[in-house]
Structure 1
């Protein structure tokens, strides 16, 4: 049975207006001294095809640069210290600027943000969402890793604060300063992905967050300013 849109909207309204007592700052890119995400508890993984990716701490945040070649990938993983309970609902707030991005496939992006929820007892794997960022749009990675719902949006002009809100089987992406969500849809179970030898499958790992370039078909230079979960 489909959930009425009014009920979904009301659920998000309650969640967004709730007390953020269990909020956790996962990255503060404006810290003194300047630090990368890896210096604040994130795992940094990268490939080393020349020219290798770089991750530099600046006073404006971490500049993650894979723009040398599409063949490289690099990014940050972290198990959330706050359970990403999609039944109760949660919000990931992150501030980022896409300085440059290019891709050789319409189904790939040089920067992505991934949130994988907790795994319920009756699930084969957890539900989650991967959002991909181009210079002029944001879109959801669909099951089968093709381009899903999308919105035209300028991600390049300046750093923007995004709020990814998850409730039950739905997500909404909002931007500070814009009242209505700019993107919304259903969570996915991303099946059919085989990780490189020795690596965990991020799509089957509960309570996992990722920010970075996870493809060899795109490249980007981005500034990651902050990440928070509640």
Structure 2
């Protein structure tokens, strides 16, 4: 099939992002460092709730095990301001390696582990565009505006750690896994409005150049291994 010029241009842009020189990447977390460290020891802000059993974050030689699986009532995760501007007009890629050891949810619109990536904010915008991806044991999906489950793909996240590349260009995203050149998920960025964070927590959806990873809901729980995160 012959691609239209627009589709061809977008495809070329994403291909350039995936093939970007690793020298331009900023390592945000290396869970295989010696001695083992959690993201909080490498510049991330860790916040958690305190319902019993309290969530835990334990560094191992395979990465950090973030565990909120004791009860849905808890939430816990890591916040980080990107040292590189997440300029969606130029394009950027967030690469992260994680394993979903276990996950359960009481709502089809919630996930026990999520990645939130918020781009830079333009002067004309009321708030920046970004994306939240939810991870279940058997699928990955995008959070809609209004916080309902959007586009999704069946994918087994449980057997081993996988390397995911979330590439953003202009108003679109594509998610690649383990070096594949065909995305397993793609769609549009969102402006997430109407969210009020718990006291003491930043609002991840209105904070430009922000990255979050963890359990951000009281309707799901998970135990995950976070191995590495980088952005370019």
Instruction: Please indicate the TM-score interval, normalised by the length of the shorter structure.
Output: over 0.9
Moved over 6 A (4+): none
Q: Mapping of 1:85-104 within 5 angstroms?
A: 85-104=87-106
Q: CA deviation at 1:22?
A: 2.3
SS at match of 1:125: coil
**Is contact 1:22–1:82 with CA below 8 Å preserved after alignment?**
no
**Is contact 2:116–2:204 with CA below 8 Å preserved after alignment?**
no
Question: Residues of 2 paired with 1:53 and 1:180: CA distance?
Answer: 36
Q: Mapping of 1:20-169 within 5 angstroms?
A: 20-169=22-171
Cα offsets for 1:176-208 (capped at 9, x unmatched): 143310000000000010112333211000000
C-alpha root-mean-square deviation of aligned residues, in Å?
A: 1.1
Structure 1: stretches of 5+ with no match in the other structure: none
* TM-score when normalising by structure 2: 0.96
Higher deviation after alignment, 174-183 or 55-64: 174-183
**Is contact 1:137–1:150 with CA below 8 Å preserved after alignment?**
yes
**Is contact 1:68–1:219 with CA below 8 Å preserved after alignment?**
yes
Q: CA deviation at 1:7?
A: 2.5
Structure 2: stretches of 5+ with no match in the other structure: none
Higher deviation after alignment, 169-178 or 125-134: 169-178
Q: How many residues align?
A: 228
**Is contact 2:109–2:147 with CA below 8 Å preserved after alignment?**
yes
Higher deviation after alignment, 11-20 or 27-36: 11-20
SS at match of 2:95: strand
